[in-house]
Amino acid sequence: MITYQLVIEGSYFSSASFDKADFTPESLICVDQSGIIDRVISVSENDYQTVKQAAIDNDILKKVPSGSYLLPGFTDLHIHAPQWPQAGLALDKPLNEWLNTYTFPLEAKFKDLNYAKKFYQSLIKELLANGTTTGLFFGSVDTNANLVLAKICAKLGQRAFIGKVAMDNHDQTPDYYRDETSQAALSETESFITQLQKLQQETGADLTPVITPRFVPSCTDETLQGLGDLAQKYNLPIQSHCSESIWEDQYAIDRFNLRDAEVLAKFGLLTDKAVMAHGTQLSDSDLELFEQKQTAIAHCPISNAYFGNSVMRVQAAQQHHVKVGLGTDISGGFSPSIYRNMQQAIMSSQMLQDSGQANTRLSASNAFYLATVGGAKALHIKSGQIKAGFKADLQIVQDQYFELSSNQASEIFERLVYHTNKENIKQVYVAGKLVHNNQGENNGK
Ligand code: GUN
Ligand code: FE
């Protein structure tokens, strides 16, 4: 028999499709030494007791308590790590003014590596405590600060995709916070890629560099083209913002006489490994372009309420077979919780429906799919589902109204989506490794 690193006994929810989350009663989730779910054994299988006993003997059995459930870990597809100190603050101006008044000055502070370390540590702990097992991060302009972020992710066990932010257009960036030239933006990006890859090899941590033009307005043509070339040269993921607001949409038309998505495509930045944040203003033809390029969208519903000028059309993206996951957009969105973003995605979709757009409503199952499968597909990782062959990215979550209300699986599921707070997230695992323990017992067993 294989020696597992961890066997979890419990019942769980996992997405079967965009429209359906499946419930599976009491099972053994067996995690191999590389952090992959090797088998899920149901009680009716012959060797259930044998495997369970072996796990007890090896002191690797984790029993999920009654009233708690196992869920896949979440993927947060859009986080600005250096905006964590202002999460919940400064949301009183439109996007472009917000960037210049609050956000660029804050991000500039991260070249002080002690400052960076303090806030990055706090952010990563907070994300893990909220059930986020994979994060796609915008860092800041400063390469060394981005390496500080990467080291903290490695130490705390967060799977992380991290980008050095490139922004060199003097018309749209302040002199105290920018890449001075296109040459600097590209060489710093390349230097970050090689240093992160080295760190990944040294630590074995799950870290991936990401090509990160901040957004079209922040970058010169040379930088947009050069970043597209680097993405191809290193075969790397790309992240940026696309059609986030009416202002951004109009900017692309004024400068290029093209739509924002078309500009990104022209410079080789819409690929099957690209994740574009927001897309609230995407037209049907933009969605067709996303479909053709197999580019994913990071839907950030809380942030969009402040800056998006409308609600992103998740159902339309779904109909175009465009991959969609969820993002917190710290700090355009104030909450580090993907649960809060699932709730907002549903609420915003109801408002879109009521504004007269048919077939736009999202269910709890839809939102859960975005948080798990959607995010994982966008990043091409085998995560977000509880089944053999997938990474053991898991969270143990307590249904706080278990004693009070119905215990039908569908109702438990909706309660978990709507009522889970940080306090109810008891343990979090990334690739089978315990990264957050809120159970108050010795090593959580
Ligand atoms: N567009 C360019 N930069 C940003 C940012 O930091 N946050 C958001 N929400 N949109 C942006
Ligand atoms: Fe953003």
- How large is the average pLDDT for residues 46-70? 97
Give residue-wise pLDDT tens across range 12-31.
999 999 999 999 999 999 99
- Going by pLDDT thresholds of 50, 70 and 90, the confidence category of residue 402 is confident
Give residue-wise pLDDT tens across range 136-183.
999 999 999 999 999 999 999 999 999 999 999 999 999 999 999 999
* The pLDDT of residue 35: 98
* The pLDDT of residue 442: 47
Whether 441 shows a pLDDT value over 60: the answer reads no
Whether 220 shows a pLDDT value over 60: the answer reads yes
CB 239 within 8 A of CB 210: yes
Burial class (CB in 10 A: 0-12, 13-18, 19+), 180: exposed
The CA distances from residue 186 to 175, 192, 239, 376, in Å, are 18, 10, 15, 28
- Residue nearest (by alpha carbon) to ligand 1 atom 3: 214
Percent of the chain with pLDDT over 70: 98
Contact 241 CB / ligand 1 (< 6 Å): yes
Whether 443 shows a pLDDT value over 50: the answer reads no
- How large is the average pLDDT for residues 83-91? 96
- Residue nearest (by alpha carbon) to ligand 1 atom 8: 332
Measured CA to CA, the distance from residue 305 to residue 280 in angstroms comes to 10
* The pLDDT of residue 95: 93
Give residue-wise pLDDT tens across range 280-309.
999 999 999 999 999 999 999 999 999 999
Give residue-wise pLDDT tens across range 198-217.
999 999 999 999 999 999 99
* The pLDDT of residue 257: 98
CB 209 within 8 A of CB 147: no
- How large is the average pLDDT for residues 116-137? 98
Measured CA to CA, the distance from residue 47 to residue 199 in angstroms comes to 41
- How large is the average pLDDT for residues 250-270? 98
Task: Name the token pair of 236.
Answer: 């790397």
What letter does residue 3 receive in the DSSP assignment? P
CB 248 within 8 A of CB 201: no
- Going by pLDDT thresholds of 50, 70 and 90, the confidence category of residue 36 is very high
* The pLDDT of residue 1: 63
State the distance from the centre of ligand 1 to the C-alpha of 240, rounded, in angstroms: 9
State the distance from the centre of ligand 2 to the C-alpha of 226, rounded, in angstroms: 21
Task: Name the token pair of 300.
Answer: 């950030």
Q: Which ligand ends up closest to the CA of 165?
A: 1
- Residue nearest (by alpha carbon) to ligand 1 atom 9: 332
The CA distances from residue 25 to 14, 67, 439, in Å, are 12, 12, 22
State the distance from the centre of ligand 1 to the C-alpha of 259, rounded, in angstroms: 18
Task: Name the token pair of 343.
Answer: 């709730």
Which atom of ligand 1 sits closest to the CA of residue 244? 10
* The pLDDT of residue 419: 96
Whether 440 shows a pLDDT value over 80: the answer reads no
Measured CA to CA, the distance from residue 170 to residue 297 in angstroms comes to 28
- How large is the average pLDDT for residues 75-91? 97
State the distance from the centre of ligand 1 to the C-alpha of 194, rounded, in angstroms: 26
* The pLDDT of residue 144: 98
* The pLDDT of residue 169: 98
Query: Coil, helix or strand for 147?
Result: helix
The CA distances from residue 350 to 11, 246, 298, 404, in Å, are 31, 22, 19, 28
Helix (H) or strand (E) holding 188: helix 182-203
- Residue nearest (by alpha carbon) to ligand 1 atom 7: 332
Which atom of ligand 1 sits closest to the CA of residue 215? 2
DSSP string, 395-439: EEEE-TTTTTS---HHHHHHHHHHH--GGGEEEEEETTEEEEE-S
| Summary mean pLDDT of the chain | 97
Measured CA to CA, the distance from residue 63 to residue 60 in angstroms comes to 10
Enumerate domains of the chain plus CATH numbers. 4-72+384-437 (2.30.40.10), 74-376 (3.20.20.140)
What letter does residue 337 receive in the DSSP assignment? -
* The pLDDT of residue 2: 79
Which atom of ligand 1 sits closest to the CA of residue 278? 9
Whether 84 shows a pLDDT value over 60: the answer reads yes
* The pLDDT of residue 405: 77
* The pLDDT of residue 406: 79
CB 102 within 8 A of CB 80: no
Q: For the packed helices 113-129 and 143-156, what is the interaxial angle rounded to 10 degrees?
A: 40
State the distance from the centre of ligand 1 to the C-alpha of 280, rounded, in angstroms: 13
Q: Which of 78, 79, 84, 99 to mutate to test ligand 1, by most ligand atoms within 8 A of the CB atom?
A: 99
The answer to whether the bond into 335 is cis (omega within 30° of 0) is no
Helix (H) or strand (E) holding 76: strand 74-80
Which atom of ligand 1 sits closest to the CA of residue 107? 6
Whether 253 shows a pLDDT value over 80: the answer reads yes
Percent of the chain with pLDDT over 90: 96
Q: Which of 365, 322, 362, 325 is nearest to 344 (CA)?
A: 362
Whether 318 shows a pLDDT value over 50: the answer reads yes
Q: Which of 2, 97, 15, 18 is nearest to 51 (CA)?
A: 2
Whether 445 shows a pLDDT value over 70: the answer reads no
Dihedral sign, CA of 133, 211, 253, 102? positive
Measured CA to CA, the distance from residue 417 to residue 410 in angstroms comes to 11
Q: Which of 347, 370, 427 is nearest to 74 (CA)?
A: 370
Whether 351 shows a pLDDT value over 80: the answer reads yes
Strands 74-80 and 20-31: unpaired
* The pLDDT of residue 199: 98
Measured CA to CA, the distance from residue 343 to residue 144 in angstroms comes to 36
